[in-house]
Structure 1
Amino acid sequence: MNLATAPEKGSASTSPTAASLWRGGRGILLVALIVVVSAVVGVLLGGGSGESRPLDPADTSLSGGKGLTQLLRAHDVEVRRVTSVAEAEAADSGESTLLLSDTSFLTEAEARRLGALSADRLVVGAQRYQELLAPGVSSAETVRTRSREPRCALRAAAGAGSAYMGGAVFTAPPGATGCYPAGGAPTLVRYPDGDRTITVVGDGRFMTNLRLAEDGNAALAMNLAGAKPSLIWLTAPETTEGPVPGEQSFSELIPGGVRWAVVQLAVVVFLLALWQGRRLGPVVAERLPVVVRAAETVEGRARLYRARHARDRAAAALRAGFTDRVTPRLGLPSAAGPEAKVDAIAGRTGQAAFHVAAALYGPPPADEAGLVALATYLDMLERQVRE
């Protein structure tokens, strides 16, 4: 027999077995199962987050206008969020700016009422009823929104510098100032209209929470929306419409067997957790490797007090220990007050109550000699009470 190839007697095979593979991979399988169950349950039971409302002063999403609202209020500009023409009319004080970012929900009569307000007007994008809200301004095309230079003498734009502008480009009426041009046509137009000033911008994303901190977007938004002490911010009313009749929700489209499978998987995970969970056995008493005498503990603490010159803590420890040991011998409850303890000790030992009170509740010793004297006096009192 070839000894080089003969297996040794009693040697064990090192190839993995099914049992060893299961022991090594069951933890990974359990984690994967929990992840899958969590994902399925999250899809079935988790509700979606609230729908974002672009350029809504109360919306904190990336497309909302909460950041601009806070900036305006920090500069003492009153921001009033309204969702109807009647509210806008009630808020119009003559020293206001009306911001219109969405007019799709308005009727023509409501647009005419908005056009008659005395407030300055800031119209975002090519809105519905453009001819009523910004007379003389028309838009025929759109351009890519990107960082652009103002290239105009308008103080609100020149002071802000480059901004994230684009969207609709406008044909400005006579006497208007155009800024942030794209292909020769402005994406921001401002012109006087009687006692009011009307401003139209092609894209309002420079005012959103996402873009406000870029370039000069915040400065431009502040200059346009915060020119007057009050800003009336008109947004679309929140809809409370239910599902369309005849349509099924996502949960209704899920077969009933899927819900039952999720319940079964949850039970399996629970049983696996019980099976693999760590079980605590009985308490095992062990001998301490080192036995420290009580006297050494006391001496060590005393050295620490002495090193830190903590005479007040040392005196407090002496008094507390004395009181705990003496109070039961005097027949007093643990909640007895200082006067009762002083009277009982003085009556038992014959010492003057004034000296007893000073020893138990007086100020801490001024030096180490005073601390030693206090300890000696307390030992004498304890001995007399015990005897």
Structure 2
Amino acid sequence: MSATVTAGTAGGVENTDAAPAAGSGEPAGPPGRRRRVGAWIGIGLVLLLVAGAGAVVSSANQWAQRGALDPDSAGPTGTRAIAQILRDHGVAVEVARDRDAARRALAPGGATLVLPDTPALSDDAVRALTDAADDVVLIEPRSRTLDQLLAGSAPAGFAPDGSVPPGCEVDAGLRAGAVEPGAVFAPGPGVVSCYPAGEGSGLLLQESDRGQIAAVDGRALFTNENLADDGNAALAVNLMGRHPLVVWYVPGLGDTDLTDADPSLGDLTPPWVSPVIALLLVAGIAAGIWRGRRFGPLVAERLPVTVRASETTEGRARLYARSGDPLHAADRLRIGALRRLAALLGLAATTAAPEIADAAAGRIGADRAAVRGLLIDDVPRSDAELLALTTRLRQLEDAVRAAVRPERSPR
């Protein structure tokens, strides 16, 4: 049952329906089974999407690990293209990912060692690898390996943009033609230099006891994205294809003989840790959203009592009157008047009260001290003074409105 009670103006209370009628068809009780099942299905789909994203991230990490100068990588910075070209020319290419495998592959002889930067190997380990090879091609030369294998040679910056002719009588350079070297190197005594550019040369060559040692910027010339430019592919084949076997050494993270090389946190962390952390984070966020909100629309609650706004205002006025505090009531009146005056005068809502008072006085040509007293300083001591203040505030607003909008002012 429902009851409606309406009182007179003294109470002004209207009692609406206290509760919905029976059989009204409005939803009640907890969410249904279908809604709960749908929520779990949604969470499962989110977890599947996150797992897929984690797999993509893991694959990207593996791509990055097998990226630069890796003959098994088909990425832009990989070198699978030149490895395939060498095989097409009848040269076997064996990828060694640790120095023991590289030494075993070089042991029979007749092989070229392709050597990138090896910061985790000592000088003795690098020398042991290069001594077992007939030819050595440094595709990522650094100061240490240059000085060790090509005595007196050193990095000399980068070549200017543009292709450079060989500028030497070396067959590998003459057959390849012009290239854009990238990094250049200053040759040491007895070292032949080709592709002069900038402060150095793009190719260094020196005959060894078993063959030759070459140094060239493989990142600029031999990667998949650069191999088709100029004579890059021909230069790579001429340097690496002099023997029937190419042993391409790709140093791993743990392939080191340095006893004081402490692994970093990234070295110790398996590649699947980052995707799992991301998966757990997103799963936690999804669980927080699931437990922190209600599925479905909010239930509208019927209020048993509705009070008119005018009665609220009158009740507050009676409280002010009963407390005997005309100053507090005056402050509320002044705040409203200041807000309306600021709007009439085109001032910002954050304008200070003294500035509004001065602007109003200047607009209507009144005494500033009087207007400031009305809006700020005067303190009403009784209800009669409060009533007089109210009248004066209304007159001030009417005067400012008439000055600002004369066409709308009352006649």
Q: Find the counterpart in structure 2 of residue 64 from structure 1.
A: 78
In the alignment, does 2:274 pair up with 1:242? no
Deviates more, 1:107-116 or 1:65-74: 107-116
In the alignment, does 2:63 pair up with 1:51? yes
Distance in 1 (alpha carbons) for counterparts of 2:168 and 2:55 = 51
Q: Which runs of 5+ in 2 are unaligned?
A: 1-45, 255-266, 297-411
Mapped contact 2:140–2:219 kept (Cα < 8 A)? yes
TM-score, structure 1 normalization: 0.52
Q: Secondary structure at the match of 1:231?
A: strand
Q: Find the counterpart in structure 2 of residue 132 from structure 1.
A: 148
Mapped contact 2:166–2:196 kept (Cα < 8 A)? yes
Give, in angstroms, the shift of residue 169 of structure 1: 1.9
Aligned residues: percent identity?
28
How do residues 203-222 of structure 1 correspond to structure 2 at under 5 angstroms? Answer: 203-222=218-237
CA separation of 1:177/1:44 partners in 2, compared to 1, >3 Å: closer, same or farther? closer
Distance in 1 (alpha carbons) for counterparts of 2:75 and 2:194 = 28
Distance in 2 (alpha carbons) for counterparts of 1:170 and 1:122 = 17
In the alignment, does 2:185 pair up with 1:169? yes
Distance in 1 (alpha carbons) for counterparts of 2:218 and 2:54 = 38
Mapped contact 2:168–2:194 kept (Cα < 8 A)? yes
Give, in angstroms, the shift of residue 108 of structure 1: 2.8
2:103 is aligned, of 89, 110, 133, to: 89
Letter in 1 for 2:285: G
How do residues 1-387 of structure 1 correspond to structure 2 at under 5 angstroms? Answer: 41=50, 45-48=54-57, 49=60, 50-52=62-64, 53-92=67-106, 93-127=108-142, 128-143=144-159, 147-174=163-190, 176-237=191-252, 241-242=268-269, 249-254=277-282, 256-258=284-286, 261=289
CA separation of 1:256/1:155 partners in 2, compared to 1, >3 Å: closer, same or farther? same
Q: Secondary structure at the match of 1:121?
A: strand
CA displacement, residues 343-367 of structure 1 (integer Å, 9 cap, x when unaligned): xxxxxxxxxxxxxxxxxxxxxxxxx
Mapped contact 1:147–1:163 kept (Cα < 8 A)? yes
Give, in angstroms, the shift of residue 253 of structure 1: 4.2
RMSD: 3.6
Letter in 2 for 1:91: A
Q: Find the counterpart in structure 2 of residue 369 from structure 1.
A: none
Mapped contact 1:123–1:200 kept (Cα < 8 A)? yes
Q: Secondary structure at the match of 1:151?
A: coil
Q: Which runs of 5+ in 1 are unaligned?
A: 1-36, 269-387
Distance in 2 (alpha carbons) for counterparts of 1:178 and 1:124 = 15
Mapped contact 1:141–1:168 kept (Cα < 8 A)? yes
CA separation of 1:132/1:47 partners in 2, compared to 1, >3 Å: closer, same or farther? same
Mapped contact 1:168–1:203 kept (Cα < 8 A)? no
Mapped contact 1:56–1:64 kept (Cα < 8 A)? yes
CA separation of 1:75/1:182 partners in 2, compared to 1, >3 Å: closer, same or farther? same
CA displacement, residues 106-144 of structure 1 (integer Å, 9 cap, x when unaligned): 223311212322421111233344333333422243445
Q: Secondary structure at the match of 1:228?
A: coil
Distance in 2 (alpha carbons) for counterparts of 1:263 and 1:152 = 74
Letter in 2 for 1:107: S
Give, in angstroms, the shift of residue 250 of structure 1: 3.1
Q: Secondary structure at the match of 1:148?
A: coil
